A and B are shown apart, each in its own frame.
Chain A
Amino acid sequence: MLSAPARIALRTARVLSLLFAVVVGSFWLMTASPVDPVQAYVGADVAAIGPEQREQIVDRWGLDDPPLERFGAWAGNVVTGDLGQSQIFGEPVAVVLADRAAASLALMATAWVLSGVLGFSMGVLAGVRAGTWVDRVLSWWAYLLASAPTFWVGLLLLYLFSVSLGWTPVGGAVPAGSLPGEATMLERLHHLLLPAATLSLVGVSPVLLHTRQAVVEALGSDHVAFARAQGETPWGLVLHRVLRNAAGPAVVLQFATIGELFGGSLLAEQVFTYPGLGEATTQAALRQDVPLLLGIAAVTALIVLAGNAVGRVLGRVVDPRAAVLAA
């Protein structure tokens, strides 16, 4: 076993090398993309600009420089803390990231907490009632959602609640026509409702199914048989002897799915035109905003890595055996 400082140094090196690989990969994909950045930037007016103006833009963005040189310039700036300028928003990447992350964070945090709590509760219920109709309904529900794409669930909910019933807004984070600063808390929550529900619904199934399995295994274990022989009641068994056994996998899994949550929010934000990080990613990719996309890739990778690390630590707290297995 390594000493604590050596372990931290190793972890940090691993994180840095992974971040480097992520940005290099993203950059390579962008340079390989057939989209013409100038045309994507100018849009429909592309016929209105002459070759000189086009040349000016290419020159200003350095698009003719060799890729290695462009990446080197970007990386050199990042090391000094400058993430560059977003081409499509005309603002520093750091500002765009902060704006969009705030909107996405509300969405993803709500979805993450809801899917975790609901998934774990339903998983415990299904596991305790394994083999009954309650279990069958919950398991089928989970399988159905696991096989349903996020955008499709989003469209269904949008059709039902926004179009048919008119209970929720069709899109956006604030009412159409009002500035973000003017919207009330209630209006914001109203707009958050459907995207968050979509993400939670889809996110429930992995936690539900894993928790169900862990509960079934725990209930069949020797230690539960012994507790039952000590006179423990059925719900006492669940509370004292099963919950914590099932919580270990659920916690690790829930933190590990933070990455999937990003992917899901990308699709959900697109369906609900919710102006978050996911929507910015789509924009950046479609319109060849290299600095913004690299910034998003790096931040996302960092959050996923942090999520995994926190999950690992909490998993060890919940289930002390995990610490032994990891060592």
Chain B
Amino acid sequence: MSVEPEHPVLQVEDLRVSFVQYERGLRRRVVDAVLGMDLDVHAGEVVALIGASGAGKSLLGQAVLGILPPNAVASGVVRHHGRDLDQAARRGLAGREVVLLPQGASALDPTATVGAQVRRAAVLAGRADPAAAAAQALAARDLDPSVVRRHPHELSGGMARRVIGAIAGMGRPSVVIADEPTPGLHPAAVAEALGGLRRLADDGAGVLLITHELRGALTVADRVVVCERGRTVDEAAVEDFAGEGARLGHPYTRALWQALPGHGFRAPAPGRTGRAVG
């Protein structure tokens, strides 16, 4: 990036999320899921948030969008262009400035036509002429106009991804959150999905890629934030993931890198690590 903007487009500071549960309806139990996460995303860059399943990384995305489950209690700061966002402000930006880019046809309503869903997204994004905006967004992704009458089960995987892209892009977002965009996809589809994220960033959005697949993330990200068991423990530049991982500062990050085939293929030992940075 040539010019460093004044504020990151998205900033998360000391995010904590816990869940209130009731055991057998009576005993109240608080489960801490996120114990302190920090990251920032600048316009035009792709930041990968890497961590194992259950590390709480998806909750960060949900907190930013204001869509945590009802029994979740969250604290910490979320800023957009330097402005603090409370829950109402996060909901206000969701679908307009901050969007979720999910993966796979299951993100589309199986009972509604593509047209109805894209038009609804246009309404929610506050577009003046939803029908025209929907048609334009679909055409921009090389989808035939007839696709508006189809239902999600009549789309191929690639078409469904493009429809989802049209819906997510409806608000001309400044922040795109892609949560696990590549699970179970074949390599060509992974490359297409990640390439799409790179284009969004090149067009000026800040992209947060939430994934557990380090190798794919490294092909597209500018920076990597590593989280382990509810905490962000490390941040590293993509260039640092090289060789035996000697330039990686944190032992957990190094362990993740060395767990990949070709870099040692050693299983990480999460019990010992993760205390150094916290």
Residues of chain A at the chain B interface (Cβ within 8 Å): 221-223, 225-232, 236, 240-241, 244-245, 248, 318-321, 324
- Given A223-B106, A324-B153, A232 and B111 touching (CB < 8 A)? no
- Given A230-B167, A232-B124, A225 and B102 touching (CB < 8 A)? yes
Asked whether, in the complex, the Cβ of A248 is within 8 Å of the Cβ of B124, the reply is no
Asked whether, in the complex, the Cβ of A319 is within 8 Å of the Cβ of B111, the reply is yes
Asked whether, in the complex, the Cβ of A222 is within 8 Å of the Cβ of B106, the reply is yes
Asked whether, in the complex, the Cβ of B107 is within 8 Å of the Cβ of A222, the reply is yes
Q: Which residues of A contact B170 (CB under 8 A)?
A: 230
Q: A241 to B120: give the CA distance in the assembly, Å.
A: 10
Most buried by B among A221, A228, A230, A244: A230
- Given A231-B95, A245-B109, A226 and B153 touching (CB < 8 A)? no
Q: A103 to B120: give the CA distance in the assembly, Å.
A: 46
Q: A236 to B124: give the CA distance in the assembly, Å.
A: 10
15 contacts between A and B (CB under 8 A): A222-B106, A225-B107, A226-B100, A226-B102, A228-B94, A231-B91, A232-B124, A241-B109, A244-B111, A244-B112, A245-B109, A245-B110, A319-B110, A320-B111, A320-B153
- Given A231-B91, A231-B94, A321 and B124 touching (CB < 8 A)? no
Main secondary structure of the interface of B (DSSP, over half): mixed
- The distance from the CB of A103 to the nearest CB of chain B, in whole angstroms, is 38
B121 within 8 A of A: yes
B151 within 8 A of A: yes
Q: A43 to B170: give the CA distance in the assembly, Å.
A: 79
Q: Which residues of A contact B9 (CB under 8 A)?
A: none
Q: Which residues of A contact B67 (CB under 8 A)?
A: 225, 228-229
Would you give the 0/1 interface string for B146-174, flagging 1 where the beta carbon is closer than 8 Å to chain A? 00000101000000000010010010000
Q: Which residues of A contact B112 (CB under 8 A)?
A: 240-241, 244
- Smallest Cβ-Cβ distance to A325: which chain B residue: B153
- Smallest Cβ-Cβ distance to B170: which chain A residue: A230
Asked whether, in the complex, the Cβ of B106 is within 8 Å of the Cβ of A231, the reply is no
B96 within 8 A of A: yes
Q: Which residues of B contact A226 (CB under 8 A)?
A: 100, 102, 107-108, 164, 167
- Smallest Cβ-Cβ distance to B95: which chain A residue: A231
- The distance from the CB of B23 to the nearest CB of chain A, in whole angstroms, is 15
Residues of chain B at the chain A interface (Cβ within 8 Å): 65, 67, 91-92, 94-96, 99-100, 102, 104, 106-112, 120-121, 124-125, 151, 153, 164, 167, 170
Most buried by B among A225, A231, A248, A319: A231
Q: A324 to B170: give the CA distance in the assembly, Å.
A: 30
Most buried by A among B96, B104, B112: B112
Most buried by B among A232, A236, A318: A232
Asked whether, in the complex, the Cβ of B109 is within 8 Å of the Cβ of A223, the reply is yes
- Smallest Cβ-Cβ distance to A232: which chain B residue: B124
Main secondary structure of the interface of A (DSSP, over half): helix
Q: A241 to B110: give the CA distance in the assembly, Å.
A: 9
- Given A229-B94, A231-B95, A245-B110, A222 and B124 touching (CB < 8 A)? no
Q: Which residues of B contact A320 (CB under 8 A)?
A: 110-111, 151, 153
Q: Which residues of B contact A318 (CB under 8 A)?
A: 111
Q: A241 to B125: give the CA distance in the assembly, Å.
A: 17
Q: Which residues of A contact B109 (CB under 8 A)?
A: 223, 227, 240-241, 244-245
Q: A240 to B113: give the CA distance in the assembly, Å.
A: 12
Asked whether, in the complex, the Cβ of B106 is within 8 Å of the Cβ of A229, the reply is no
Asked whether, in the complex, the Cβ of B96 is within 8 Å of the Cβ of A223, the reply is no
- The distance from the CB of A277 to the nearest CB of chain B, in whole angstroms, is 36
Most buried by A among B91, B95, B96, B164: B95
- Given A240-B120, A324-B153, A229 and B95 touching (CB < 8 A)? yes
Q: Which residues of A contact B151 (CB under 8 A)?
A: 320-321
- Smallest Cβ-Cβ distance to B94: which chain A residue: A231
Q: Which residues of B contact A245 (CB under 8 A)?
A: 109-111
Q: Which residues of B contact A248 (CB under 8 A)?
A: 111
Closest 8 CB pairs of A and B: A231-B95, A229-B100, A230-B95, A222-B106, A226-B107, A244-B111, A231-B94, A223-B109
Q: A321 to B124: give the CA distance in the assembly, Å.
A: 26
Asked whether, in the complex, the Cβ of A230 is within 8 Å of the Cβ of B102, the reply is no
Q: A203 to B231: give the CA distance in the assembly, Å.
A: 52
- Smallest Cβ-Cβ distance to A227: which chain B residue: B109
Q: A291 to B102: give the CA distance in the assembly, Å.
A: 64
Asked whether, in the complex, the Cβ of B100 is within 8 Å of the Cβ of A223, the reply is no
- Smallest Cβ-Cβ distance to B100: which chain A residue: A229
Q: Which residues of B contact A244 (CB under 8 A)?
A: 109, 111-112
Q: Which residues of B contact A229 (CB under 8 A)?
A: 65, 67, 94-95, 99-100, 102
Most buried by B among A223, A226, A232, A324: A226
Asked whether, in the complex, the Cβ of A231 is within 8 Å of the Cβ of B124, the reply is yes
- The distance from the CB of A224 to the nearest CB of chain B, in whole angstroms, is 8
Most buried by A among B92, B124, B170: B124
Q: A236 to B91: give the CA distance in the assembly, Å.
A: 14
Q: Which residues of A contact B95 (CB under 8 A)?
A: 229-232
